[in-house]
């Protein structure tokens, strides 16, 4: 077969799919692309195989090796099955499967169950959609060796994905993720994938795990008396058409909150996400219906979770009565300060506790933790690295709270992934705690800035689609790596951290140190005035991301706006020096 304009290797992969034992609908979709001479789409669909990134397997649904479909998910599951059988020889193996509200998530979850069961693996299958953190919890509760969540988190509706978990309830990390991918790579034909379900190997689960999960997180409450006094705290909540509606309202009720107002238009699970452009609580637009409802009812706090309910967006009342959307860094700073303060006031900090965040998350958290005498660990971007350290320290130290700037937080060690269910409960508890003291959460945030310094963070994402986009992102990273800027925002660059080579270089003396973290394609530029810019290609989306962090003293609450503008100008200048804006 010859397809003009299509790379030879890609043409061979297309032929393999057309001539292989694939279903007719898949072949028809590929033929249509050929008939339409859609070289761009054919190239993107076949130029590579889907790979595990920081968030697992994720991509656009459709036909092709670089698409999410029955065969790519089947191959991933067959590879994971082969890995588990080798990892646990002559032992009974069990897994948990859950899925979110995305289009085809239920269908894909059943395909995954087919393959696991056909390989003799027992499957605990959630009878209906459930949040990602509940899957993480269930793996440990049921003493399983692995688990899979069918979700693409906050991506647009065209996407779906596959998160693979280990026995600790955390997403697979090195060397296990690479071992699974090697097993997948060994599958040279879809005929090697076992798709025939063994029904008695698939066991439905549901309400009993819900109860265990909610009861476990309810025990994490640290301000029960204040909640009792503020039980009428007016909370507006939306699941953005996702799984959060299953557990967040009952969890809030278990904490003692009696005035939870839901956004009815967004309570119905729907993979088309009809009321939002993107089901991403980071986006102002996605929070708009919830904020509108909160304004109508004069709520105290607004929360919205993404489709698989592992991330949560938060809005609080500003001093003018309007709602202010907090970014992930601000929300996490408030949460860490609240949890550590409550533990310290109760005399429950003895040096064994710790908090954790990612290297691109606000360094104000390090200062908050230090002031409370609590160690703060920094790990690579991706919550799986937080889960990995939690497992390593289990029984030695106690994890209290942690998270990442991308709206993912965890309180307690019941899960090894970010958990929007417990986060909603703890944010509501924090709001009750402050309200009971006559302090607004907004004033509390400003108070943190005056105490620790005004840390302002900004994220710039640049989308580069397809193979050409991937090549462009690679070139950008190599250029920054080989041509380190001398200054950023008029401040001298004094340190470069290259996590790909695991080297930290002092740009003044030339001295180098080893970075004690796994290799990752991330660059961090540190300037003389304490600013940081991190550059990182996304592991799950066709994007390169720039995380900016600047800070300055905040001398008074009245100086907030002027200081914020000063920091905004600094961020823009730094990005300009990198050629971004």
Active site residues: 153
- Kindly write down the DSSP assignment for every residue of 213-233, as one continuous string: HHHHHHTT-S-HHHHHHTTT-
Sign of the dihedral through C-alpha 159, 165, 170, 174: negative
Which residues face 504 on adjacent strands? Answer: 497, 513
Q: 3-state SS of the chain: helix, strand, coil percent to 5?
A: 40, 20, 35
User: φ, ψ for residue 364 (rounded to 5)?
Assistant: -65, -30
User: φ, ψ for residue 46 (rounded to 5)?
Assistant: -130, -5
- Give the whole-angstrom CA distance, residue 245 versus residue 130: 9
User: φ, ψ for residue 498 (rounded to 5)?
Assistant: -110, 100
Listing from the earlier edge strand, what are the strands of the sheet with 408-411? Answer: 375-379, 353-358, 398-404, 408-411
User: φ, ψ for residue 543 (rounded to 5)?
Assistant: -140, 155
Instruction: Name the DSSP class of 557.
Output: G
- Give the whole-angstrom CA distance, residue 236 versus residue 52: 36
- Give the whole-angstrom CA distance, residue 44 versus residue 467: 6
Beta strands in 143-272 (DSSP E): 146-150, 159-165, 202-205, 235-238, 260-262
Using CB atoms within 10 Å of the CB of residue 163, give its burial: 0 to 12 exposed, 13 to 18 middle, 19+ buried: buried
- Give the whole-angstrom CA distance, residue 262 versus residue 253: 13
- Give the whole-angstrom CA distance, residue 161 versus residue 126: 17
User: In Å, what is the CA distance from 361 to each residue of 214, 217, 406?
Assistant: 28, 25, 8
- Give the whole-angstrom CA distance, residue 435 versus residue 439: 6
**Residue found by looking up tokens 């969540």 in the block:** 149
Which has the closest alpha carbon to 530: 446, 451, 477, 454?
Answer: 454
Task: Tell me: cis bond preceding 175? Omega within 30 of 0 counts.
Answer: yes
Structure-block tokens of residue 483: 């041509």
Structure-block tokens of residue 34: 């050929």
Structure-block tokens of residue 179: 């071992």
Q: How many CB atoms lie within 10 A of CB 86?
A: 10
Q: How many CB atoms lie within 10 A of CB 261?
A: 18
- Kindly write down the DSSP assignment for every residue of 403-437, as one continuous string: EETTTEEEESSS-SS--HHHHHHHHHHHHHHHHHT
Helix (H, G, I), strand (E, B) or coil at 548: strand
Pairing of strands 57-60, 398-404: unpaired
- Give the whole-angstrom CA distance, residue 546 versus residue 460: 5
């Amino acid at each position: 077969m010859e397809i003009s304009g299509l790379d030879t290797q890609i043409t061979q992969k297309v032929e393999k799919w057309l001539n292989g034992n694939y279903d007719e609908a898949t072949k028809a979709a590929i033929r249509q692309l050929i008939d339409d001479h859609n070289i761009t789409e054919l190239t993107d669909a076949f130029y590579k195989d889907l790979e595990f990134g920081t968030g697992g397997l994720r991509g656009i649904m459709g036909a092709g090796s670089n698409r999410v479909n029955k065969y790519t998910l089947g191959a991933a599951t067959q590879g994971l099955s082969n890995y588990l059988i080798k990892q646990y020889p002559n032992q009974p193996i069990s897994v948990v499967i859950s899925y979110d509200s995305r289009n085809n998530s239920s269908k894909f979850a059943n395909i995954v169950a087919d393959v696991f069961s056909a390989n003799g693996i027992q499957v605990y299958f959630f009878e209906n959609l459930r949040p990602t953190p509940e899957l993480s919890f269930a793996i440990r509760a049921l003493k399983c060796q692995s688990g899979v969540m069918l979700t693409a988190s906050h991506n647009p509706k065209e996407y779906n994905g596959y998160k693979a978990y280990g026995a600790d309830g955390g997403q697979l990390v090195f060397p296990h993720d690479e071992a699974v991918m090697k097993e997948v790579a060994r599958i040279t034909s879809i005929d090697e994938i076992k798709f025939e379900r063994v029904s008695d190997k698939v066991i439905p689960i549901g309400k009993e795990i819900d109860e265990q999960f909610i009861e476990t997180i309810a025990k994490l409450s640290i301000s029960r008396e204040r909640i009792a006094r503020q039980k009428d705290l007016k909370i507006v909540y939306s699941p953005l058409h996702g799984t959060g509606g299953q557990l967040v309202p009952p969890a809030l009720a278990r904490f003692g909150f009696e005035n939870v107002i839901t956004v009815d238009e967004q309570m119905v699970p729907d993979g088309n996400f009809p009321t939002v452009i993107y089901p991403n609580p980071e986006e102002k637009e996605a929070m708009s219906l919830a904020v509108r409802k909160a304004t109508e009812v004069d709520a105290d706090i607004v929360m919205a979770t993404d489709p698989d309910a592992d991330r949560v967006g938060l809005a609080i009342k500003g001093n003018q009565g309007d709602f202010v959307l907090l970014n992930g860094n601000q929300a996490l700073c408030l949460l860490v300060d609240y949890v550590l303060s409550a533990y310290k006031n109760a005399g429950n900090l003895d040096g064994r506790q710790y908090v954790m965040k990612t290297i691109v998350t606000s360094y104000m958290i390090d200062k908050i933790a230090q002031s409370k005498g609590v160690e703060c660990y920094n790990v690579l971007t991706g919550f799986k690295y937080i889960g990995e350290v939690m497992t390593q320290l289990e029984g030695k130290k106690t994890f209290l709270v942690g998270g990442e700037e991308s709206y993912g937080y965890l309180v307690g060690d019941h899960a090894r992934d970010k958990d929007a269910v417990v986060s909603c409960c703890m944010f509501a508890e924090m709001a009750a705690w402050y309200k009971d003291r006559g302090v607004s959460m907004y004033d509390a945030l400003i108070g943190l800035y005056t105490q620790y310094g005004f840390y302002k963070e900004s994220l710039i994402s640049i989308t580069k689609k397809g193979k050409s986009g991937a090549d462009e992102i690679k070139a950008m990273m190599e250029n920054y790596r080989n041509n380190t800027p001398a200054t950023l925002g008029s401040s001298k660059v004094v340190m470069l951290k290259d996590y790909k080579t695991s080297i930290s270089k002092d740009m003044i003396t030339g001295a180098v140190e080893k970075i004690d973290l796994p290799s990752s394609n991330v660059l961090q530029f540190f300037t003389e005035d304490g600013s940081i810019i991190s550059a990182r290609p996304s592991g799950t989306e066709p994007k390169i991301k720039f995380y900016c962090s600047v800070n300055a003293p905040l001398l008074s609450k009245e100086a907030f706006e002027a200081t914020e503008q000063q920091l905004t100008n600094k961020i823009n200048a730094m990005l300009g020096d990198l050629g971004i804006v």
